[in-house]
Structure 1
């Protein structure tokens, strides 16, 4: 009887355990299917799903578009110019996670197939001739600039943009992976990836916004680029990997305005794969280029692989004004720099024959680590980890 009682008890526990397991079976999320197009004039939330992005989608002043984690948006080259545009006064809130990023891609997987994410604000800029306002170079010809340093265009977390960087037919206008026109410090940009675009990975047109945890992978032009007096103060953990085609790791300029302000970026990794060539055989092969009065403070920098061209240097000072007014006046500061390989430290051009940084404004270190990023689904494309 004792053995029978134990057996019955064991069976009871077994069936009870099965019942509990069934109760705890996780719910499988089923993605909705939809399309996003046209102007968004009222608040809208897009649940987890697969969406077609068709045409120039504009989030208008006063409207907020919120997107759930894990969603995917697909543009199509054959239907014309596609882009997601946040106009000044509109907001984009993307709630991706490391495990469930929000992905924007294109069906053909050809770099330059669409326009990426473009955001406008009214934070300060310094354009040509010191102007405080300008018009965009993305083919939309929208105004940007203002006095609202704390402009808030929303929150972008764990977002990947693929195959963007569309060239506009006028020959002068281009879109990037992410384009930020006078975006303010109230905007959150964290854990963003731009993958295999035909222009710059990230470009800032003035503004005060900062970018934290970013990957620019395989973009044809510059990995990171800015102008118009961008002055973000809290940027960190920037990673760039140039492969196949790529120009500068970072291109830094200020429309020939000699400023008393500048951006600050810490923890930077700039890598270039062997055999990577510049776009259209241009002489744009350096890790970092300063030109047209570009400046800034940069720390903990790792530079690797910029030896494709015999003339490549880690840091290029492109013109005499930048050398005289920025380098010599202590407005460019690069500290804790590590260069793997034989790339020379810095150099000028035919008009800049000598580059001498003031004491303490260019320092090297064998212990610099560069960007520190946690890998996951957000940084993986087709099984490839983008952090090489």
Structure 2
């Protein structure tokens, strides 16, 4: 059995009695509703294409711009919410990126604010083969420490970010799906589905799915944002990627890898760096806390995969710190957990060479506790006996004290079009069945669960229902294309701009 690890009692985390993202109880399924889609091609019925189409050309949106759910919107080029302005998107609004004006993407500048609150059965949908959403803030990122123009420059040349305000408030985003996004501007310079640059912990981003992205699905560059209920499905690169001093928190998140990515190089569920140019950069060191993740690799999905795709479940490198608690790591082609670089683990060791705090998740710089691993390829690992749990065990020591290699018995985690990540009653991820979960730090954010992973065994508690279809191609029915289409051209959105759910919106630029 395992020592239970309590998540931090900081007002954010919930204490639960399971590993993973979902409870076994149906009433607790946070994926319920139409906001989740797993369709690999999209579903045109979602988009209501009969709505009027508003075309937004490259530039700044007017002040207080509202995306109405009576329209559809087409963005052409770089469309932005400028410093000092606000944009609002109504529930049920669909916004498309132009495929003829490339790259088309949506930017919230430092000092701009976005209010994008969908509903479980009226999600906000960003779709098309486009650049994605880039959100800039003024929190610390270890590429800069001022709020002036000499701060960090975003990937894709999407603008500047960084500063000193770790409580920066860039707005809210809930029940939103960003799909078929990502664009390579140049080698190693890409736009992602959702890029969060130095956002502070007053920016609220919860119940968000990124789907079928051509690069990373969620990526953080610095900042302190705290998230619950994230879904990252079928990306060509990493599911959750952080670097440059990200120090936030994530609880209840699902990553399902794409077995046959377009570029054939699907990478990791989580990739974490401190700073790729200076591993020891301590301006603000990457040190996030993840709890109750359900991470599903290519060995567990319904697709052949290839020897050239599918990396580690979790990879910390280049000086990153962090904690992973009460999570399920299932079916990764290379390894479950991987640590690289001595600078990464330097802060996680005490003077005797042992991990600082392997039995308690309260204060260590690196902690891996209460996790369930299963069917991860052991071939690239130093310790094959732990089912592909960890590479570089010599660097890290012996961390397998409170983690367990056991089948989490999720309902149907491998389906690409209709997956179900809820643990079965006999799941090894449940505290009652062989797996005492760790007690997370009492920090006001993390919730204590009685299961490992993102979901409880109760279908009623499946938080993925209702807003996250998984169609690999998208579903036009999501978008209600009969609404009027508002076109947002490249530029800065007006202060307080509201995206009305009576419209659809098109971003140009």
- TM interval, shorter chain, is 0.7 to 0.9
How far residue 153 of structure 1 moved from its aligned partner, in angstroms, is 0.8
Say yes or no: does 1:238 pair with 2:253. Answer: yes
Q: How has the CA–CA distance of structure 1 residues 155 and 141 changed in structure 2, closer, same or farther, with 3 Å as cutoff?
A: closer
How far residue 260 of structure 1 moved from its aligned partner, in angstroms, is 6.9
Match of 1:10 in 2: none
Residue among 66, 82, 85 paired with 1:45: 66
Q: How has the CA–CA distance of structure 1 residues 102 and 68 changed in structure 2, closer, same or farther, with 3 Å as cutoff?
A: same
User: What's the TM-score once normalised by structure 1's chain length?
Assistant: 0.79
Say yes or no: does 1:161 pair with 2:159. Answer: no
Match of 1:212 in 2: 228
Query: Within 2, Cα distance between the matches of 1:75 and 1:267?
Result: 33
Q: Deviations over 1:341-368 (max 9, x none)?
A: 254354335xx744314686x5338334
Q: What stretches of structure 1 of length at least 5 have no aligned partner?
A: 1-27, 107-112
Match of 1:267 in 2: 292
Q: Equivalent residue of 2:139, what SS?
A: coil
How far residue 298 of structure 1 moved from its aligned partner, in angstroms, is 1.8
Query: Within 1, Cα distance between the matches of 2:55 and 2:140?
Result: 35
Match of 2:103 in 1: 81
Number of residue pairs matched by the alignment: 339
Say yes or no: does 1:363 pair with 2:403. Answer: yes
Q: Equivalent residue of 2:100, what SS?
A: helix
Query: Within 1, Cα distance between the matches of 2:102 and 2:286?
Result: 40
Kindly indicate whether the alpha-carbon contact (under 8 Å) linking 2:338 and 2:391 is maintained by their aligned counterparts in 1.
Answer: yes
Q: Deviations over 1:161-190 (max 9, x none)?
A: 11111100x323111010000001111101
Residue among 309, 312, 336 paired with 1:286: 312
Match of 1:332 in 2: 366
Match of 1:12 in 2: none
Q: How has the CA–CA distance of structure 1 residues 60 and 260 changed in structure 2, closer, same or farther, with 3 Å as cutoff?
A: closer
Match of 2:274 in 1: 254
Q: How has the CA–CA distance of structure 1 residues 76 and 236 changed in structure 2, closer, same or farther, with 3 Å as cutoff?
A: same
Query: Within 1, Cα distance between the matches of 2:62 and 2:164?
Result: 24
Query: Within 2, Cα distance between the matches of 1:151 and 1:302?
Result: 32
Match of 2:143 in 1: 127
Kindly indicate whether the alpha-carbon contact (under 8 Å) linking 2:244 and 2:285 is maintained by their aligned counterparts in 1.
Answer: no
Kindly indicate whether the alpha-carbon contact (under 8 Å) linking 1:41 and 1:62 is maintained by their aligned counterparts in 2.
Answer: no
Q: How has the CA–CA distance of structure 1 residues 319 and 253 changed in structure 2, closer, same or farther, with 3 Å as cutoff?
A: same
Structure with higher strand content: 2
Residue among 99, 118, 137 paired with 2:134: 118
Match of 1:301 in 2: 327
Higher-Rg structure is 1
Query: Within 2, Cα distance between the matches of 1:359 and 1:214?
Result: 27
Match of 1:184 in 2: 200
Q: How has the CA–CA distance of structure 1 residues 236 and 143 changed in structure 2, closer, same or farther, with 3 Å as cutoff?
A: same
- Root mean square deviation, CA, Å: 2.8
Query: Within 1, Cα distance between the matches of 2:222 and 2:52?
Result: 37
Q: Equivalent residue of 1:114, what SS?
A: coil
